[in-house]
Amino acid sequence: MQDFTYAAKTYGRIIIGEQALPPTTKTIKPTELGGIAGGEKYIIEGILFKFAIDNHNIFKGNELSTYKNAGQDLLGLNI
């Protein structure tokens, strides 16, 4: 559990810190998993990261809608 937590925090910081960079210059490149509403997706060491950002203007610049969509993704994970 400690290894997972360390990896998730470390890679999460990198993804967030490089958010403004073009995809070609990012340390961890976004992955194409299909769908665009969930934002950018990254897979590293078997961990899926979804960065809630509206790159395709689906939510017309409404950040609250982007975050609500991400929240619904999280609710769908609760088992």
The two three-digit tokens of residue 19, written as one number: 């958010």
Residue 50 sits in which domain range?
2-77
DSSP state of 52: -
pLDDT tens digits for range 6-56: 999 999 999 999 988 998 999 999 888 777 666 788 899 999 888 777 666
- Looking at the chain, list the stretches that DSSP marks H as alpha helix, in order from N- to C-terminal side: 2-17, 63-77
**How many distinct structural domains can be found in the chain?**
1
56 φ/ψ sector (left φ>0, alpha ψ -120 to 50, else beta): alpha
- Evaluate if pTM is beyond 0.75: no
Taking the C-alpha atoms of residue 64 and residue 25, their distance in angstroms, rounded to an integer, is 28
